[in-house]
Structure 1
């Protein structure tokens, strides 16, 4: 037997017309709904990447390492 519904306040509320017998033991499985293209874009724009990624982060790490090495301070930077 399968019944569908939604969770509200940590309680499963069955869809209209769905019925289960009182006292029935149940197992709940979360079904992921697919986003439309517009919803996906809104989700991406609403959750920007906050950590630097890619080449910029590599260059920053390299710069920090060179600044920490006092024996390299007087050498010219490579082009």
Structure 2
């Protein structure tokens, strides 16, 4: 899973990222105790109905994306 960080969290604002193969789908995260923590929902920008743009992540997808996010941040912090 290739993650592209759009914005790192700062000043109590969410960080935002997307996954390379999921265009127009954005995820939010924050840093808690030095580790990234994924929000349980995502934003589907292609959804035409504004009331349906925010969607809940399934438990399986949440775990996969959370793991990839942690790995990405660790690599970034290591300068890789």
Q: Which has the higher helix share?
A: 1
TM-score w.r.t. length of structure 2: 0.25
TM-score w.r.t. length of structure 1: 0.26
Which structure's relative contact order is higher, taking Cα pairs within 8 Å and 6+ residues apart?
A: 2
Higher Cα radius of gyration: 1
Q: Which has the higher strand share?
A: 2
